[in-house]
Amino acid sequence: MSKPAVVLLSGGLDSATCLAIARAEGFEVCALSFRYGQRHEVELQAAKRVAEVLGASSHKIMEIDLRLFGGSALTADIPVPKDRPMTEISHGVPVTYVPARNTIFLSFALAYAEVLNAYDIFIGVNALDYSGYPDCRPEFIEAFENMANLGTSYALASGKRIHIHTPLLRLSKAEIIRKGRALGVDYDLTISCYDPSADGTPCGRCDSCLLRKKGFEEA
Amino acid sequence: MSKPAVVLLSGGLDSATCLAIARAEGFEVCALSFRYGQRHEVELQAAKRVAEVLGASSHKIMEIDLRLFGGSALTADIPVPKDRPMTEISHGVPVTYVPARNTIFLSFALAYAEVLNAYDIFIGVNALDYSGYPDCRPEFIEAFENMANLGTSYALASGKRIHIHTPLLRLSKAEIIRKGRALGVDYDLTISCYDPSADGTPCGRCDSCLLRKKGFEEA
């Protein structure tokens, strides 16, 4: 019998690859996405397709409205930057940073893991392409894992450790794509754009589109 | 000019006292409550009264639906235990435990703190009366604080530390009540019951009612 794992799924290239890796490692995947006031519902449609096609056992969508707090391009009305050179993309905190987003997402994943009695959580963070996001760094993930093991009764009672898996942490976008292709991921299912049109067409010019394009060129 | 602090507010005795302490320490209080599928909306009505009367500058209510995951008395249909002796109340994980609840609440408080540029978060956890909740223990709070400082761009950029304040951590219920009374807290505004009637009348027999009663007798 395969072990359950919670996989955070955005509908983008990285999290789709992460889900495929969790499946390849033999986990029964319980995918978790968020409707969090982001401007593009098309992301969630992509997440649904990815969960289905890549063999997730279940897919839940948690509704949270971070607009209550304000303060980010992905949830408020700050324009998404376009056509930035690679050197700018990979340095500094991007305006598309959402305060404490991965902390919130991982916290829900942890709650779900406890309900499922699952000790494995997958998140497709990457420390190379997005060095500006503090909550994508390995030291943050380690600190979260430590906190998770201290703050949940099932881990304390069983003595087993909760493990936050970050299989993409040190891969380049090209390496992620090659890995995903080897596992049969169809990247046409995914969407990475920060600012797509209503029908899901990527803008082709935001940081995420530029990184994706560069990744496919190199892969 | 006073510094902003995010105060987690449930509408119960502990968080009301916590809010009063934050005010007494000179903080501008931004109160944060959750509608999380708990059975008693009367808690939130109490939170609104407490925020107003005790001088919070603002009060936000975040909607999250933990019922998506299932698995707890406060959010599902497991009966709340009644008339348990004190020895049982203070040992073991209570059935009213909600998976990763404080992790989730603190994560939202952290996001809000980042938007406000606030470095102070107050939570009324107590390690004495509720020793069965792993996410009320000091080691959990320290681990969360560490994670918060690693995972948010404003703390990294400023070099200032985020501080999770737990002024009630080592106080008995009677000490909490005495402290709150000294600060002018009207506990009639608060509600602690796990299973109140629709009009807000406490059951008088759940763990929380029994601890509250004992606290008032001793104070």
pLDDT in tens, A113-153: 999 999 999 999 988 766 678 888 999 999 999 999 999 98
Instruction: Enumerate the residues of chain A whose CB falls inside 8 A of the CB of residue B93.
Output: 153, 157
Say if the Cβ atoms of A114 and B137 lie within 8 Å: no
CATH number of residue A27's parent domain: 3.40.50.620
Instruction: Write down the pTM of the prediction.
Output: 0.92
Tell me the two tokens of residue B101: 């609840």
Q: Give yes or no for residue B78 having a pLDDT over 80.
A: no
Q: Choose among B115, B71, B194, B90: nearest CA to A72.
A: B115
pLDDT at residue A94, rounded to an integer: 63
Domain count, chain B: 1
Contact criterion met (CB below 8 Å) for A46 and A190: yes
Does the CB of A100 have a partner CB in chain B at under 8 Å? yes
Cross-chain residue pair B93–A137, CB shorter than 8 Å: no
State the ipTM, two decimals: 0.91
pLDDT digits (tens, 9 = 90+) for B97-150: 778 999 999 999 999 999 999 999 999 998 876 667 888 899 999 999 999 999
Q: Which residue of A has its CA nearest to B114?
A: A99
pLDDT reported for residue A130: 62
Interface A:B, Cβ pairs < 8 A? 143
Say if A139 is an interface residue toward chain B (CB within 8 Å).
yes
pLDDT at residue A85 in the model: 81
Q: Which two tokens stand for residue A74?
A: 């992905």
Which pLDDT score is estimated for A99? 86
User: What is the distance between the alpha carbons of residues B115 and A103, in angstroms, rounded to a whole number?
Assistant: 15
- Is residue A216 less than 8 Å (CB to CB) from chain B? no
Q: Which residue range is the domain that position B190 belongs to?
A: 4-218
Q: How confident is the model at residue B93 (pLDDT cuts 50, 70, 90)?
A: low
**What is the Cα–Cα distance from B201 to B78, expressed in whole angstroms?**
20
Question: Residue B92 — very low, low, confident or very high, per pLDDT cuts 50/70/90?
Answer: low
- Give the residues of chain A that fall short of pLDDT 70: 1, 38-39, 71-78, 90-96, 129-131
Q: Which two tokens stand for residue A132?
A: 């500006």
Among partner residues A69, A146, A154, which is closest to B112 by beta-carbon distance? A69
